[in-house]
Chains A and B, each alone.
Chain A
Amino acid sequence: MPLNPSITDQMQKTRDAWFRTVTFLFALSIPLLLLLLVVILVGQALPSINIFGAGFIFSSSWDPVRETFGALPYIYGTLVSSLIALIIAVPLGLGSALYLAEVSRSKIKEYLAVMIELLAAIPSIIYGLWGIFVLGPLFGLSMLSGGVILAIMILPTIAAISREVFRSVPNIFKESAMALGATRWETIKLAVFGPARSGILGAIILGLGRALGETMAVTMVIGNRPEISASIFAPAYTLASVIANEFAEASSDVYLSALVELGIILLLITMVVNGLARLLIWKTVGKNNIF
């Protein structure tokens, strides 16, 4: 019995069909947008793809004057700076989220939570300026400075999301663990971390996504030198930074398309990282996890 008796069954069916079609089209717009993005990028990058081929990914030379281009130092810089950021931000973020959600009973946690969210709202150029004057003298303009600034930027993402995840773990889990005689640490390990695993991974992935694509703050402290160095105190360069830096003044076609090809590589890296993370989540917790 429909809520409105004047609507016949037939009308109801056509309306449902319409609704299904329209929402399907809306949903379709997302993969379509992605496809369009890739098509346009590949089209723009064709001159560079034709000239350099696969060697583009493995070459370390980036010389706009002689028009030889290679992406390896930028790929390396992007991956390593993001890795440094994760190494610093994951324990800090999870630790603070755990304190806010599970450990603390004092009023102070509400203020702390607000401050974490505030950190997420600071524009990246502010982080960059701060980085120049604080991290620069400390670690030099280097891979480490870039990694640290990224860590600070993704920390609120990881902390805020994992706090929500911890809080949504049903109390009954914790109570059961306590009832079985678990210590507080055992309770957290078994009854909070266990069920929240996929949510935590999700928080880390979101943080990593931001780190891979961050442009402004990183370029201000990383030294912008396309070189692969074993030392994290040496200057480096990332994919997003070089595109932002050089796009406006790139005048030749090859130069421009090489920059676009860097964009494709960045897109692929983020897609692969996200895909791997998705696999990891499915593998560890199964597809029917509550989060």
Chain B
Amino acid sequence: MLRKITVCLLGLVFLTGASLGLTLNGAGATFPFPIYSKWIYEYNKTTGIQINYQSIGSGGGIKQFTAGTVDFGASDAALTNDQIAKAGGDALHIPTVMGAVAISYNLPGVSELHLDSDTLAGIFLGKIKKWNDEAITSLNPGVNLPDKSILVAHRSDGSGTTSIFSTYLAKVSSAWASKVGAGTALSWPAGVGGKGNEGVTGVIKVNEGAIGYIELSYAMTNKLPVVTMKNRAGKFVKPSIASTSAAAAGAIRKMPSDFRADITNAAGADSYPISGMTWILAHKQQKDAEKGKALVEFLRWSLTTGQQYAEPLLYAPLPENLRARVMDAVKSINY
């Protein structure tokens, strides 16, 4: 009896193993999760290859990638040299899509708001406390700004969105760089924290006078007004897919060969300054030939066919000339 059961169980294990085929495991950033799951679904339909992606956060993704428990990692923040060394020294950054971080606010009657980098830093440093502060009114002639306190809303959980936002502020404001710095979690000088994009969106929605940074898709789906930011070229630009792509195009000349560039405050008249890339992390030398081949094929597919799914989900696809360079990096993966 017992032997029969054992045989049956073993048979079951083999059967399921065979029907599942090859499975790739990945873990990391939450920001690109919607597009990655779309890719995984579409790719599975055409190839039958199973990919599990767990959106546990960039930090978690880096940890799992370093520990070698996943076939690929994903992160919104580039690895430091130290982290690359820890992960075996051959970690490649493959940019997949880009996104914009929108500055949203809640001021009834104010549908257009212009800010520059100094003013934005001043607000988030807690130095500019009122909406009718001269720094804001001088950028918005003709707009009736109320004598109301500013409530700064930021992320309470560690996040790649915070990393992009603080990288930008640290780049453009020396006060921010020395006082706060850049990272996935910060010691915030002002405001309240909301958990996740949805938490910050909630804080902005219910508090008149609130301002906060969220991913563009959250601002759009919640129909929140967004700040028009002054970019490096001195032009005021709204966050959008086009202006995010423009930022990547503007940053491409200075793009290092390992793609570990941040595209905040990028050159170009149409560039939105608070934009970021997200990467898939892969080892250049794949240990498992079969899995390595599958990963390379998936990456090639996502950089070509897959890019069409980006815009409907409010991500900016990689610009054409950058894509060609990324493809070369994907081809360099050995298996």
Contacts and interface: CB of A to CB of B under 8 A. Distances in A.
Interface string A240-252: 0110111011110
Given A224-B156, A249-B157, A251-B59, A64 B192 contact: no
Interface stretch (A48-56, A130-138, A167-175): A130-138
Interface stretch (B108-116, B178-186, B274-282, B322-330): B178-186
Contacts of A248: 56-57, 59-60, 157-158
A249 B57 contact: yes
**B interface, size bucket:** 20 to 34
Contact of B157 (A140, A225, A235, A246): A246
B294 to A, nearest CB: 27
A62 B188 CA distance: 9
Contacts of B181: 65-66
Nearest to A251: B59
Interface in A195-253: 219-220, 223-225, 235, 237, 241-242, 244-246, 248-251
Given A133-B206, A136-B207, A251-B59, A245 B188 contact: no
A141 interface: yes
A224 B180 contact: no
A61 interface: yes
B212 to A, nearest CB: 12
Given A64-B186, A225-B191, A248-B57, A220 B199 contact: yes
B148 to A, nearest CB: 14
Contact of B60 (A66, A220, A245, A249): A249
A251 B184 contact: yes
Given A224-B156, A249-B60, A65 B186 contact: yes
A141 B183 contact: no
B186 A220 contact: no
A63 B58 CA distance: 19
Contacts of A63: 186-187
B59 A64 contact: no
Contacts of B182: 65
A113 to B, nearest CB: 34
A246 B158 CA distance: 5
Given A245-B158, A250-B59, A224 B192 contact: yes
B225 interface: no
Interface residues of A, number: 28
A224 B195 contact: yes
B62 interface: yes
A141 B59 contact: no
Nearest to A68: B187
A99 to B, nearest CB: 34
A137 B193 CA distance: 15
A242 B158 CA distance: 10
Which residue, A64, A241, A250, A251, has most C-beta atoms of chain B within 10 A? A251
A245 B156 contact: yes
A223 B194 CA distance: 7
Given A220-B195, A235-B192, A136 B206 contact: yes
Contacts of A244: 157
Contacts of A64: 158, 183-187
B83 to A, nearest CB: 8
A62 B193 CA distance: 14
Contact of B187 (A61, A133, A140, A219): A61
Interface string B133-176: 00000000000000000000000111110000000000000000
Contacts of A219: 156, 195
B203 interface: yes
A223 B192 contact: yes
A244 B191 CA distance: 20
Given A65-B182, A223-B193, A248-B56, A136 B203 contact: yes
Nearest to B166: A65
B192 A250 contact: no
B59 to A, nearest CB: 4
B63 interface: yes
B301 to A, nearest CB: 28
Interface of B: 56-60, 62-63, 83, 156-160, 180-188, 191-195, 199, 202-203, 206-207
29 contacts: A61-B187, A64-B183, A64-B186, A65-B186, A65-B187, A133-B202, A133-B206, A136-B202, A136-B207, A141-B207, A219-B156, A223-B192, A224-B193, A225-B192, A245-B156, A245-B157, A245-B158, A245-B193, A248-B59, A249-B59, A249-B60, A249-B158, A249-B159, A249-B185, A251-B58, A251-B59, A251-B62, A251-B83, A251-B184
Closest 5 A/B residue pairs (Cβ): A249-B158, A224-B193, A248-B57, A224-B156, A63-B187
Given A224-B195, A249-B160, 4 more contacts: A220-B202, A245-B158, A250-B59, A251-B83
